[in-house]
Amino acid sequence: MKLEGLELRRVSIPLVAPFRTSFGTETVRDILLVRAVTDAGEGWGECVAPAEPHYSSEYADGAADVMRRFLVPRLLAADRLDAQQVAPLLAPVKGHRMAKAALEMAVLDAQLRASGESFAAYLGAARDRVPAGVSVGIAESVPALLDTVAGYLDQGYVRIKLKIEPGWDVAPVAAVRQRFGDDLALQVDANAAYTLADAGTLAKLDAFDLLLIEQPLAEDDLREHAELARLIRTPVCLDESITSAKAAADALMLGACRIVNIKAGRVGGYLEARRIHDLCRAHGVAVWCGGMLESGLGRAANLALAALPGFTLPGDTSASDRYYARDVTEPFTLDDGHLRVPDGPGLGVTPLAGVLDELTTATELLPVA
């Protein structure tokens, strides 16, 4: 395949409700989409970098900038290109994994659309539907949280994840456990809001039989996570800290986590995500598919990844209407607590031209003529 052009497209999609985490509140997703134009057809990628650098150092404008200046020119210079070559070609540029992941995704989509193979088949999916969990933001009050969780359970979600932060942890978790019972699959995500000095508070969560606690400490606190893991019974799961297969291997060997959240964007792409899956599976470590409030394009790829055999816990792979009233693709819907894994060529979904244009705030085609 020859890459002939790369379109950067910003879309702005209002969330159905504000999403509050320990690092901030989002009311709209300002997403950077990329479209690879090749001699074999086009392909779509979605950059998960949020508008502001609070979850991680990357942010959407920064991702667009590094693509434009450094990444896309390297891909355009290649005579022939396939998805496997994207990461090696971009390796001289340090970091910027979310930007690199989006480009690799677009090239892989173009390649698979051309060959007629689905993301799921290419990655090695073992099933055609995956269980849907839902990530519930920090609420105004405990009664409001209970209402929100009740609504999701009515819709059929099979696992609830509560966002926590200092001051919003033991009480909301206790209330949800009390109201919905011991059978509810329940976990929490701190987005790095605690320090080791909070181990006493976090140990109080042991009483609620949580599936896991996600990223309690800072991204670079691997050693501290290992120490915390010895002080609490709830299994520690890492999200922000797992930036590559190497980081995952380090975390497992250090005892920093027993479970891994895999997000392809955070680790530089779906190929690296699959390597983390393979590593964890070989070590008997459970993984699950995280999310970054993706549009239908990123969601399609996440569902393919979540269908791999090592994804033994439900992911943050929720239905489109949990996020958006109007998505750029046909919406993904819940069916008995599950989402269908797309099986068409490439991502198996395509942007709806009219809706995409209405949601688009800027486009730019590289190289500039």
Residues near ligand OSB (CB under 6 A): 55, 135, 189, 191, 239, 290-293, 316, 318
Q: Which partner in Mg ion, ligand OSB, none is near 316 (CB below 5 to 8 A by kind)?
A: ligand OSB
Contacts of residue 91, Cβ cutoff 8 Å, sequence gap at least 6: none
163 is catalytic: yes
Q: Which is nearer to ligand OSB, 36 or 324 (CB)?
A: 324
Q: Which is nearer to ligand OSB, 58 or 189 (CB)?
A: 189
Q: Could you tell me the smallest distance in angstroms from the CB atom of residue 79 to Mg ion?
A: 40
Q: Which is nearer to ligand OSB, 42 or 327 (CB)?
A: 327
Q: Which partner in Mg ion, ligand OSB, none is near 135 (CB below 5 to 8 A by kind)?
A: ligand OSB
What strand order describes the sheet that includes 3-21? 41-47, 24-38, 3-21, 360-366
Please pick, among 100, 204, 246, 263, the residue that the annotation labels catalytic: 263
The structure tokens 């992911």 sit at 315
d(CA 229, CA 219): 15
Q: Which is nearer to ligand OSB, 76 or 158 (CB)?
A: 158
Q: Could you tell me the smallest distance in angstroms from the CB atom of residue 92 to ligand OSB?
A: 28
367 prior amide bond cis, ω within 30: yes
Segment interacting with Mg ion, rule: CB under 5 A, options 235-243, 274-282, 299-307, 359-367:
235-243
263 is catalytic: yes
Among 239, 272, 294, 327, binds Mg ion (CB under 5 A): 239
Q: Is the dihedral of CA 357, 360, 366, 369 positive or negative?
A: positive
Per-residue binder mask for Mg ion (CB under 5 A), 175-214, x = binder = --------------x------------------------x
CA atoms within 13 A on the CB side of 357: 2
What are φ and ψ of residue 116, in 5° steps? 80, 15
Q: Does residue 294 bind Mg ion (CB under 5 A)?
A: no
Q: Which partner in Mg ion, ligand OSB, none is near 109 (CB below 5 to 8 A by kind)?
A: none
d(CA 112, CA 71): 21
Which has the closest alpha carbon to 99: 73, 60, 138, 56?
60
Q: Which partner in Mg ion, ligand OSB, none is near 293 (CB below 5 to 8 A by kind)?
A: ligand OSB
Q: What is the CA angle 81-89-344, rounded to 5?
A: 45
Q: Could you tell me the smallest distance in angstroms from the CB atom of residue 60 to ligand OSB?
A: 13
Contacts of residue 326, Cβ cutoff 8 Å, sequence gap at least 6: 13, 355, 359
Q: Which residues bind Mg ion (CB under 5 A)?
A: 189, 214, 239
Residues involved in catalysis: 163, 263
